[in-house]
Chain A
Amino acid sequence: MIIATKMAESLRLLGMTQLCLSRLARVSNVRLSRFLGGSLELRPDEMDRLAATLHNCFMIQKGDGRLASSNLPIDWDRMVVSDESTVGDVSFEFEGDFDFCLDRHPVLSVLIPLDTLKSLVSAGPSRFLKITQSEVVGLLGLLVRNPNMSEDNRAVAQSLLDLACNQGAGADD
């Protein structure tokens, strides 16, 4: 929670929106929102990207490379921060998150590499993204084990996981 508070303070000092930070740091805005609200612990790689992004932005804001007066605000929404550490694995392994609290429908967030998305929209009309049952059940298991998951989210995830466990044995029959 202390880190989340410091991160919120950094956003205020930079004049940057949470949505912009989520874009620059490649972290789902839903997950970042829950982290800042204290109901979710982000993965180490996400924390690393957030810390690196904020560090880079502070360096840009205070650095000598700025051409104009340092008092001029930066339009972070137009900013692209290049960070070599965030460039690497481009394979499309399932990475996602559920939020059961936003409204009556669960929200599933899925991370998709842009190259994969480009291939999808360039391909024929019969193409689609496929998210398997095992990927969804695995994700629910991760959420239930997360000690920082909110009680509401955990309760729904657990009930769904129970449903999967109860039905799983005979489902393929």
Chain B
Amino acid sequence: MTDNFAFTGDFRFTEKDCWLEFRIPMRVLKSLINGPSSQHLQVERHEIIGLLRIVAANPNTSESDLTIVRDLLKRA
């Protein structure tokens, strides 16, 4: 989609995968489902990496999550 919005979200890590939870403005959601079928949401790599850095800097992030996040950031 060409309709950009400020990306805010969070990760919930598990053993093999994770839930990426992110907020979508209602106008963007309506634009997505109201448009042609080729419309899509696009989460950029740099947004993912930015979110990982926020999670890594959060003092409340658990040690097990930190291990996963640091491994991901090393690959970036």
Contacts and interface: CB of A to CB of B under 8 A. Distances in A.
B38 to A, nearest CB: 8
A93 to B, nearest CB: 11
A163 B15 contact: no
B interface: dominant SS: mixed
A71 interface: no
A35 to B, nearest CB: 14
Nearest to A100: B26
A110 B17 CA distance: 10
User: How large, as a class, is the contact surface on chain B?
Assistant: 35 or more
Contact of B18 (A19, A112, A132, A140): A112
B56 to A, nearest CB: 12
B8 to A, nearest CB: 8
B75 A163 contact: no
B16 A121 contact: no
A110 B45 contact: no
Contact of B17 (A30, A112, A132): A112
A78 B37 contact: no
A125 interface: yes
Given A28-B21, A111-B19, A163-B33, A123 B45 contact: yes
A24 B45 contact: no
A131 B40 contact: yes
Interface in A76-110: 77-82, 86-87, 90, 103-110
B29 interface: yes
Interface of B: 12-26, 29-30, 32-46, 48-49, 52, 62-65, 68, 71-73, 75-76
24 contacts: A23-B13, A23-B65, A24-B14, A30-B21, A78-B64, A80-B15, A87-B15, A103-B23, A107-B23, A108-B24, A110-B19, A110-B20, A111-B17, A111-B18, A118-B75, A120-B48, A121-B49, A126-B45, A128-B44, A129-B20, A136-B33, A160-B33, A163-B34, A168-B37
Given A114-B13, A121-B45, A134-B37, 6 more contacts: A77-B63, A77-B64, A86-B16, A107-B22, A133-B32, A136-B41
